[in-house]
Structure 1
Amino acid sequence: MKNLLITKLILAAILASSLLMLSLHPAYSADESSPSIHPLSKSELNSLIHDTFNVMKKHYIEPSVVANTEQFILEKLKQGQYASIHTIEDFANLIGRDIRHITGDSHLSLFTVNDNEQITHILSHKTGKLTYNHAFEEIRYLDGNIGYLKFNKFHPDEKARETVDAAFNFLKKSDGMIIDLRDTVGGSPYLVQYILGYFFPVKTPLWEVLDRSDKSLDSIQVIEHSGHKRFHSDYPIWILTSHDSASATELFLGVMQANGKATLVGEVTSGAGFYVGVKKITPELVFRISLSKPVISANQQNWEKKGITADIQVKAMDALNYARRLAFESSTIR
């Protein structure tokens, strides 16, 4: 009886372990809505690589890097380094990772979708600092009547403009401002354009959008809005940067720096300098791909892979204290 009981306990443990392993690998689910209902064959893998690079050759902003990237991927395939790719999700994760690594373009990724699912380049985030209050985290006054503003994303929601207006209205009595963008991951260039309207007159040239042939697609200027003009002239601004400050964040930083409107304090930024869109590779596989690039009007620069260098280079963790000292000294001089 004792041996029989032990045997039953062992079988129960094995069953529980198997169920746990199944729950940890949803890619193998029998859910028919999932794009990965069968393992990829070798011919399907080759076909997906071919289709992926056809899309990249047709649309990618830097066509000169596509051939070398494809050759590198095909060589890894030949060497058997993609033997772990069994599903389309595996393909998206591993091939997308390698394309991103080879090109150095942090915007690039592959992802899967279900039939008739709406696709977008806009990244979704778990509930937290990138979603609460349109990613505006902190606003207050510091010593010397210096405003402090921290937000973590240029949120794409149209209602984010209301949050921007509330923040800048709160700070309009300040004698200077520290804008903390050390954790700001990027976001919407349209919100960048809107916020810049608080610092520059209407119709000030901000940036040009160029295609892969360096042909101008659009010219972006400051737009009219109902916000106050308190910060337009003789108003000191310090912006905090880090290696994580990326994409639309760098667009904002670059315009402010190139126009002599702010002093950047911190680290060289991420170097993600392209506009992104989405292109379908197959009905199940989508490419989040760089399609065009912004060039700052004031200095004709794009920051892809270079980042933007702070005027005062210090570790990101020390940037706030350094900027506060500069702001306090500035306020006592005035």
Structure 2
Amino acid sequence: MSTTIIDEALDLLCANYIFPAKATEAAAAIRARRAAGEYDGLDEEILAARLTADLAEVCADKHLRVRIRDADLHDVLTHDEMAAAYREGLRHANYGIARVERLDGNVGYLDLRQVAEASMGGRAIAAAMELIAHTAALIIDLRKNRGGAPNGVTFWTSYLFRDDETHLNDIYDGPSGRTRQFWSLAYLPGARYPDAPVFVLTSDVTFSAGEEFCYNLQALGRATLIGQTTRGGAHPTQFFPITPTVEITVPMARSVNPVTGGNWEGTGVVPDIEVPAAEAFGLAYRRALEHVLTTPAPASVLAEARAALAGPEA
């Protein structure tokens, strides 16, 4: 069984990885280790971890992983079955939106754990943005965000710009050799949020599409990032089942930011204000409340902001 897993993993790697030369080098190294008996007698979980570590030794790519599949995916093997499981998972996760509310002082707060495909999560995203549309500042909490879909990043962040003239990101696709541009959208359901300050919270868990969210806004000067340097994965991937219980995720593309010309692969996104992740919300909330006090808000809102500033959270 281990031979089948290794052979299939390496075939998928060499056929799809965004950096073909690295794929060939990594495959040769793993075949040499197999010939030396290094994978003999390993169960699936240990084998998957070893293969992931050995791939990282050559490729240093945090999206490139061999791993055990979730138990509820063991019978999900075809493309259509995987798409259906993804849709169902998004629905149960509320399309990544864990919490949305108006905080005291008229500050909006979004706790976003996953970036959903825009075609699936668009209505939920629009509803969340409608709830914070009239706030004076916005905190977007990505400290537990582990990624998602690039077009979901485009949908979310388009709300933070006035029109469709903001170039957000490019993604180079290895198999086709094409580069796709991502721009802010011309139409969005509900009101935009183009002017009020935005604070984005980060941690060393923030990953992939969550990092793109951060990186794009930082590069465009549209948000202040507060927290820890993110995990460092900038290569969109595809999942391939090897067996009902083992899969490989292979990066097939790479992000190219139109402002910086680079991305966050391996380095992570460095916040504008670096503090422990647990302290990021308090600092962002204080900054947001201080901004509210500079606005011509109603007296009741200003009083609320002053009271919140005096409280423990800020």
Tell me: CA distance 1:97–1:247, structure 2 relative to 1, closer, same or farther (3 Å): same
Q: 2:210 aligns with which of 228, 245, 249?
A: 249
Conserved in 2, the CA contact under 8 Å of 1:237 and 1:263? yes
Q: 2:223 aligns with which of 254, 262, 265?
A: 262
- Structure 1 residue ranges without an equivalent (≥5): 1-39
Normalising by structure 2, report the TM-score: 0.79
CA distance, structure 1, for counterparts of residue 283 and residue 252 of structure 2: 38
Normalising by structure 1, report the TM-score: 0.74
- Structure 2 residue ranges without an equivalent (≥5): 296-314
- Which has the higher mean CA deviation after the structures are superposed, 131-140 or 179-188? 131-140
CA distance, structure 2, for counterparts of residue 143 and residue 78 of structure 1: 63
How far is the alpha carbon of 1:128 from its aligned partner?
9.6
Tell me: CA distance 1:322–1:121, structure 2 relative to 1, closer, same or farther (3 Å): farther
Give the equivalent residue in structure 2 for 1:117: 77
How far is the alpha carbon of 1:48 from its aligned partner?
5.1
Conserved in 2, the CA contact under 8 Å of 1:147 and 1:174? yes
CA distance, structure 2, for counterparts of residue 129 and residue 275 of structure 1: 18
Give the equivalent residue in structure 2 for 1:98: 54
Q: 3-state DSSP class of the match of 2:115?
A: coil
Q: Indicate whether 1:73 and 2:9 are aligned.
A: no
CA distance, structure 1, for counterparts of residue 100 and residue 267 of structure 2: 30
Give the equivalent residue in structure 2 for 1:56: 13
Paired residue type of 2:33: K
Give the equivalent residue in structure 2 for 1:144: 105
Tell me: CA distance 1:253–1:69, structure 2 relative to 1, closer, same or farther (3 Å): same
Give the equivalent residue in structure 1 for 2:169: 207
Tell me: CA distance 1:130–1:300, structure 2 relative to 1, closer, same or farther (3 Å): farther
Paired residue type of 2:77: E
How far is the alpha carbon of 1:97 from its aligned partner?
4.9
Q: 3-state DSSP class of the match of 2:293?
A: helix
Alignment map for 1:288-307 (pairs within 5 Å): 288-307=249-268
CA distance, structure 1, for counterparts of residue 62 and residue 271 of structure 2: 21
Conserved in 1, the CA contact under 8 Å of 2:130 and 2:191? no
Conserved in 1, the CA contact under 8 Å of 2:228 and 2:275? yes
Tell me: CA distance 1:133–1:114, structure 2 relative to 1, closer, same or farther (3 Å): closer
- Which has the higher mean CA deviation after the structures are superposed, 137-146 or 251-260? 137-146
Q: 3-state DSSP class of the match of 1:300?
A: coil
Structure number with the bigger relative contact order (C-alpha 8 A, sep ≥ 6) is: 2
Q: 3-state DSSP class of the match of 1:185?
A: coil
Q: Root-mean-square deviation (CA), in Å?
A: 3.3
Paired residue type of 2:219: A
How far is the alpha carbon of 1:103 from its aligned partner?
2.6
Give the equivalent residue in structure 2 for 1:131: 92
Tell me: CA distance 1:167–1:115, structure 2 relative to 1, closer, same or farther (3 Å): closer
Conserved in 1, the CA contact under 8 Å of 2:228 and 2:271? yes
**Which has the larger Rg?**
1
Give the equivalent residue in structure 2 for 1:180: 141
Paired residue type of 1:95: L
Conserved in 2, the CA contact under 8 Å of 1:121 and 1:276? no
Conserved in 1, the CA contact under 8 Å of 2:118 and 2:155? no
Q: Indicate whether 1:218 and 2:180 are aligned.
A: yes
- Which has the higher mean CA deviation after the structures are superposed, 97-106 or 251-260? 97-106
Alignment map for 1:282-321 (pairs within 5 Å): 287-321=248-282
Conserved in 1, the CA contact under 8 Å of 2:157 and 2:184? yes
Conserved in 2, the CA contact under 8 Å of 1:147 and 1:175? yes
Tell me: CA distance 1:86–1:186, structure 2 relative to 1, closer, same or farther (3 Å): closer
| CA deviation profile, 1:230-255 (whole Å, cap 9, x unmatched) | 4113x100000001111011111111
How far is the alpha carbon of 1:82 from its aligned partner?
1.2
- Which has the higher mean CA deviation after the structures are superposed, 244-253 or 202-211? 202-211
Give the equivalent residue in structure 2 for 1:326: 287
Give the equivalent residue in structure 2 for 1:28: none
Paired residue type of 1:206: L
Identical amino acids, percent of aligned pairs: 26
